[in-house]
Amino acid sequence: MAIGTRDALVHAAESLMRTKGYAAFSYADLAEVVGIRKASIHHHFPTKEELGMAIVEDYIARVSGDFERIEREHQDLAGRLETFFLVFRASSEGGLLPLCGALAAEMAALPSGLQKLTHRFFDVQLKWLTAILEQGVANGEIPYGRGTRQKAFLLLSVLEGASFINWATKENDPIDDNIIRLIIEEA
């Protein structure tokens, strides 16, 4: 039972972080969503920072697993980027912000452990995107242009930014995957 409760807490708290922000949700909010007492939350996560770190660590593991799956299933750069795009877009559906983008917006107010994990998550994404773009350049699939790191940064920035604009305007305009081609072929 404890493992199920812990997982429910992590899942519900992630949703709260992605809709309200880290600073704006409390253990009282979480207790209401999960249907348990605040004391039970403290049993699993004595501090909010520990809860936040568990959420981000779980998220990093899930995304890293997605990256491995994408590489197994797609040998070409176009397939990898398209699948990354679809995974990213799916993670932002339902009025949710990208988790680490939401945390980055509160970076100055985050405890140091969460700041480090947020930085690590962006680094994981940028390193993966850079690596697959470098493979694409080596295979002649795309031109080097301004460089693979800059292309990775631009791509992630556009996706994160579009998610924030959709969230703020509530228009839910999905970004077209043609932006990927524009970034990797022109930048």
Question: What CATH number does the domain containing 98 carry?
Answer: 1.10.357.10
In a domain, 33, yes or no: no
Higher pLDDT, 171 or 74: 74
| Domain annotation covers residue 47 | no
Is residue 99 within 8 Å of 118, Cβ to Cβ? no
> What's residue 173's pLDDT?
65
Q: What is the mean pLDDT of residues 129-146?
A: 93
Q: 3-class SS at 126?
A: helix
**68 inside domain:** yes
Residue 45: what pLDDT? 96
Domain containing residue 110 = 52-186
Q: Is residue 173 part of a domain?
A: yes
Looking at residue 89, its pLDDT comes to 85
Number of domains making up the chain = 1
Any idea which of 23-27, 37-41, 46-50, 94-98 has the lowest mean pLDDT? 94-98
pLDDT reading at 1 higher than 50: no
Of the listed ranges 72-81, 97-106, 161-170, the least confidently predicted one is: 161-170
d(CA 142, CA 80): 13
> How far is it, in rounded angstroms, from Cα 38 to Cα 29?
9
Residue 7 lies in a domain: no
Above pLDDT 90, what percent of the chain? 68
**What CA–CA distances, in Å, run from 48 to 122, 152, 167?**
21, 32, 25
Tell me 80's DSSP state.
H
Q: What are the distances in angstroms from CA 116 to CA 2, 53, 75, 185? A: 28, 10, 32, 32
Choose among 166, 155, 103: nearest CA to 133: 155
Domain membership flag for residue 166: yes
Tens digits of residue pLDDT in 151-185 = 999 999 988 988 888 888 877 666 777 777 777 77
pLDDT band at 136 (very low <50, low <70, confident <90, very high): very high
Taking phi over 0 as left and psi of -120 to 50 as alpha, with beta for the rest, 26 belongs to: beta
Whether 18 maps to a domain, the answer reads no
Percent of the chain with pLDDT over 70: 95
Average pLDDT over residues 6-20: 93
